[in-house]
Structures are given as C-alpha cells and as structure tokens.
C-alpha cells in the first residue's frame, strides 16, 4: 500500500478514515491525528499516527522514513504541528539525533504493529539491531507548544 514510500489510493482512503477516528480520541494506544502545514502551498496535511511512549516521553516516528511529507513539513515549520486526539494540542516536534533513536524505534514497533512491514528490523531483535537503521527513520520528541 506504500510502494516507493507513498500511499496508494487505498492507503490514502484508509488514512482519511483513520485520521477522522483517531482525532476523536476514542481509539487510545497512542492513536492520534497529526496536522502539519506545507510551507510553500500552505495546505494542511492531516494523517493518522501512532505516538510512541518511551521513558515517560512521547515520540512521533516516521515509519516511511526520511521522505515522508509530514517530516518535511515539520522540519520546514521548525517543529510546529498539531496533535488531535479528542482535543487539539499545539506541539513542537524536536528531532532526535540518530544515535539516540534505536530504543525509541524498538518501543515504537511494539506499540504500532502497522509499522512493522515498513521497518526492516523485527521487533524482537535487540536494540543494537535498530541502531543500524536509525538514521533512516526520523524520530521527533513531542513537547507542548508554549
């Protein structure tokens, strides 16, 4: 459904439905809707996302890697985004350095089973196995906007 890192028509349809349901806040388990703005066209990008919890913090992980539109939008917006899960929450996403991502990626796979086909390491592998792919999968620490 994500050939070349881009959603096909069916995936886009399912993402729209999931984004609506996740935004209501009824799913739980870290299911949210992430809203970012394209800095050039000023168009809103809304997509479903599972937030990873690790050591008391929340993280947004790009299961499709560096080329995800939301990642580009967040970087261009200096981390500004909105998370919607029952209520809208303005946040700042701070990119985690690649050398600190491995344990977060492992935790993410445990919490987001839908991401498993996109990340080339089995969830049962040790953290060291995730270090080899960590640079390919952006991770952002979520902080409330001030």
Condensed to tens digits (0 to 9), the pLDDT of residues 69-95 reads 899 999 999 999 999 988 899 999 999
Give the pLDDT confidence score for residue 5 in this predicted structure: 59
pLDDT of 127 > 80? The answer is: yes
Burial environment of residue 83 by CB neighbours within 10 A (0 to 12, 13 to 18, 19 or more): buried
Specify the 3-state DSSP secondary structure of 96. coil
Beta bridge partners of 139: 61
Q: What is the pTM of this model?
A: 0.84
Cα separation, 50 vs 130, whole angstroms: 19
Let me know: does 44 contact 16? Beta carbons within 8 Å: no
Please give the domain boundaries of the chain with CATH numbers for all domains.
3-144 (2.30.110.10)
3-32 burial code (b ≥16 CB/10 A, e <16):
eeeebeeeeeeebeebbeebbeeebeebbb
Encoding tokens for residue 76? 């261009």
If you average pLDDT over every residue of the chain, what do you get?
Answer: 87
- What does the alpha-carbon distance between residue 96 and residue 71 come to, in Å, rounded to a whole number? 12
**pLDDT for 21:** 65
């Amino acid at each position: 459904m994500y050939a070349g890192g881009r959603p096909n028509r069916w995936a886009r349809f399912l993402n729209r439905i999931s984004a609506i349901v996740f935004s209501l806040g009824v799913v739980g388990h870290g299911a949210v809707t992430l809203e970012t703005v394209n800095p050039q066209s000023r168009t809103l990008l809304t997509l479903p996302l599972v937030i990873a919890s690790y050591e008391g913090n929340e993280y947004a992980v790009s299961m499709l890697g560096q080329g995800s539109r939301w990642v580009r939008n967040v970087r261009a917006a200096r981390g500004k985004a909105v998370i919607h899960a029952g209520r809208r929450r303005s946040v700042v996403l701070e990119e985690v350095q690649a050398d600190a991502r491995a344990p977060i990626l492992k935790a993410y796979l445990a919490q987001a089973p839908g991401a498993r086909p996109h990340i080339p390491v089995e969830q049962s592998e040790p953290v060291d196995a995730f270090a080899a792919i960590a640079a390919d999968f952006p991770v952002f620490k979520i902080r409330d906007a001030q």
